[in-house]
Structure 1
Amino acid sequence: MSDSIIERAYEEVNRHKQTVERDYHRLHYHLMPPVGLLNDPNGFIQWNGTYHLFYQWMPFKTGHGAKFWGHYSSTDLVYWSSEPIALAPTDWFDKNGCYSGSAVVDDGRMKLFYTGNVKDEQGNRETYQCMAESLDGVSFEKKGVVITLPEGYTAHFRDPKVWKHELDWYMVIGAQSKDLQGKAVLFKSEDLKAWTHLGVIAGSQENNVGNFGYMWECPDVFELDGKEILLVSPQGLAPIGMQFQNKYQTGYFVGSLDYESATFTHGAFQELDRGFEFYAPQTTLDEKGRRIMFGWMGVPEQGEEAHPTIKHKWIHSMTLPRELHLVDGKIIQQPVEELKMMRKNEVKYMSVVFDKREMELKDIHGESVELELTIKDNPFQTFAVSFRNNVTFKYDRHSQIATLERVSFVTGDIEKRQCSLITLEHISFFVDSSSIEIFINGGQEVFSARMFPEEADKSIVFHGNGDVIADITKWEIRP
């Protein structure tokens, strides 16, 4: 590694520390960059009792560019420590960015796999899959290129996710074919150094999927409750009804991966999160046997230049860590159990009746709260909860549609994301100073979004159209 560019990154953190920390939109219990831009979660792994979460990081500006790997660690998924920079764009094979990738443990070492992004003087792109390793999980030594671009693909070939199945290692890469179709490509290795290209296992114009995007980013293959999941972020999907409303999407296929024939038989694509900001998630299997996921609470090229945090020299955050399960062919997402450690000052209301008027309840307010509602009786047509005059969640029983509305930080207009929902029984709202994550019916549906309300407004307002009876519990979140 070249020390100079790393020193410059640390200098940038120190130079803007006060500017960043003065921003009242800084989140209380979500991971953020110390300065600059954060995007994809990388290298998420638990090793010797410690969780490591790396992230795409541009320290020198709030736009994209030659990315570093920043690094956080935690023993409990709640309290996180900032670690030294893991990777920096300093070598011929990654000089224009250490792009996304993953981590495994092998032979007592943590090994990172990532995409080295290279551009020549004319802007032509080259791509290399690279490896680095560490004995302590903190200091990393680059080992160079392990995979070069195979025939049949453009240089949009990136984001390696590596895992072990029986005695062999496998790697899935997000790709674009020469005919500009998004693909997920599989490789195999015995030693993590020499890799065999097995071919495409899923993609646009594959497996009866039809035309489904010009690039597939950040694939992740894992077993979940007896099935194989391919998690992927396709680019180039046109909106269809309530689906695919963001600039780029994230979702999954449920199926069966035949490792011998390198074929993946799967069902239809399902969106993972219904909100405004969610992209490029990554999962790991922890030492308790849980499949846990972080996502980036952002979307590339979707109003990024309008985020009000930019004037404070930072942008974007991670979602909360979520435990995944597969129930009736659908991924269920739940905040990890450890997050309950942050709860303080419980306020509880039992059997509250909401009628046609707006209602505020004593001590149900705040900018850093968890709010839980259990619907006991809902002979109503609509029900809504508004947060800080900026975001509103609504459910219409007649249409069976759940809606998240917010004041756009780009235009100031009201914008919305929606999904079908047969019934509303339980809702958990995780509200932070500039974000909200909503888990419906135990995580059957999830909405994630950034929001940027006025600092002084801490209101939470309930709206009913007809009678609804609910139990309500609110906690302050104090990490």
Structure 2
Amino acid sequence: PVDGDKNHTKWVMYGAAGTYMLGSFDGKVFTPEAGKYCYTTGSIYAAQTFTNIPASDGRRIQIGWGRISHPGMPFNGMMMLPTELTLRTTKDGIRLVNVPVKEIESLCKPLRSWKSLSSDEANRHLKEFYNADCLRIKTTFKLSHATDAGFNLFGQRMIGYDMNSNTLNGRFYSPQDPTSMELSADIYIDRTSIEVFIDGGLYSYSMERRPDTNNKEGFHFWGNRIEVKDLQVFSVESIW
């Protein structure tokens, strides 16, 4: 369904690396109508969606393989967060949206919340979480006078937006309101992985958590006179 309208539906054919096309399907032939687009990048690969979800639920839920390994962990790769896929009408047309399933909310406990901060103020508030094991951080920040801005964790770039080239972590991305130059992010920081969902899931990406051991900055917003409009921090419990 597009925008939740069951009378307006599209089929989605998507590839292992996060590209997809929209179109129609007659049971034998998929006919592309729009795309290719990209909804996610990074460590995730070969995501699959669950079949036979009860009609009373109706969600399209995916889980992907994360090409992430880490010294000391007894595995090579991992499963990423389960996410719900929907179709939404945007300024660029119909696009695939990818957000963590609602059940993950039950693992998250609010810890702190602030509004209308400078980058320096936000960085000071986040000092108490430098040694946290697992966290969820939600934020909205406005580039204002910055040509580039972002958010790091001990030198590892979780978010980096370049307004000259309209790239987000090296990938072309245009915010829904290009005049406001605001970005929102929902960030899940696990022991070995980081998953980021931008602007309500219009774009997402994942990476191995590998901070610079020589970096002392901790959580660090950067960019010329940016405004951190909203900042929320949650602890995240184990699923086990």
**Per the shorter chain, which TM-score range?**
0.7 to 0.9
**Is 1:227 the counterpart of 2:10 in the alignment?**
yes
Larger radius of gyration: 1
Instruction: Give the CA deviation at 1:465.
Output: 1.3
2:22 — aligned with what? 254
Name the residue aligned to 1:370. 136
CA-CA distance at 1:449 after TM superposition:
1.1
Q: What is the Cα deviation at residue 289 of structure 1?
A: 0.8
- Matching residue within 203, 207, 213 for 1:449: 207
8 Å CA contact 1:283–1:293 kept in 2: the answer is yes
- Counterparts of 1:142-161 in structure 2, within 5 Å, are none
Deviation digits for residues 296-334 of structure 1, max 9, x if unmatched?
111xxxxx8xx443x654211111011111123210011
Provide the TM-score with structure 1 as the length reference.
Answer: 0.41
User: Residue in 2 aligned with 1:279?
Assistant: 45
- CA offsets per residue over residues 197-223 of structure 1, 9 Å max, x none? xxxxxxxxxxxxxxxxxxxxxxxxxx9
Distance 1:339 1:358 in 2: 25
Between 429-438 and 450-459, report the one with greater CA deviation.
450-459
What residue is the counterpart of 1:360 in the other structure? 124
Shift of 1:368: 0.7
Describe the shift of the 1:439–1:283 C-alpha distance in structure 2 as closer, same or farther (beyond 3 A).
same
**Deviation sequence 1:105-150 (CA, Å, 0-9, x none):** xxxxxxxxxxxxxxxxxxxxxxxxxxxxxxxxxxxxxxxxxxxxxx
Aligned residues: 217
Tell me whether 1:418 sits opposite 2:198 in the alignment.
no
- Of 331, 334, 339, the residue aligned with 2:99 is 334
Query: TM (normalized to structure 2)?
Result: 0.78
1:291 paired residue number: 60
What pairs with 1:37-48 in structure 2 (closer than 5 Å)? none
* Counterpart position of 1:478: 237
After superposition, residues 12-411 of structure 1 pair within 5 angstroms as: 226-233=9-16, 249-259=17-27, 262-266=28-32, 267-275=34-42, 277-284=43-50, 286-287=53-54, 288-298=57-67, 307-309=69-71, 312-328=73-89, 329-354=94-119, 359-361=123-125, 362-365=127-130, 366-375=132-141, 378-403=144-169
Structure 1 residue 432, shift from structure 2 partner: 0.7
User: For 1:274 and 1:419, how far apart are their aligned partners in 2?
Assistant: 12
Separation (CA, whole Å) in 1 of partners of 2:74 and 2:186:
31
Contact 2:149–2:226 (Cα < 8 Å) also in 1: no
Q: How far apart, CA to CA, are the structure 2 residues paired with 1:440 and 1:451?
A: 18
Question: In 2 relative to 1, CA 333–254 (structure 1 residues): closer, same or farther, beyond 3 Å?
Answer: same
Percent sequence identity over aligned pairs: 23
| Runs of 5+ unmatched residues, structure 2 | 1-5, 176-180
Distance verdict in 2 for CA 1:458–1:317, change over 3 Å: farther
Say if 1:225 and 1:325, in contact at 8 Å, map to a contact too: no
User: 1:398: how far off?
Assistant: 3.7
Q: 1:367 to 1:224 in 2, by over 3 A?
A: farther
1:346 CA drift (Å): 1.5
User: Aligned-residue CA RMSD in angstroms?
Assistant: 2.9
Relative distance call for 1:433 and 1:388 in structure 2 (3 A) is farther
C-alpha change, 1:297 and 1:439, in structure 2 (3 Å) is: same
Other-structure match for 2:3: none
CA distance in structure 2 between the aligned counterparts of 1:447 and 1:316, rounded to whole angstroms? 16
Superposition deviation, residue 280 in structure 1: 0.6
Q: Is the 8 A contact 1:435 1:450 kept in 2?
A: yes
Q: 1:391 to 1:433 in 2, by over 3 A?
A: farther
Specify whether residues 224 and 314 from structure 1 end up closer, same or farther in structure 2 by C-alpha distance, changes over 3 A only.
Answer: farther
Q: Which amino acid aligns with 2:36?
A: F
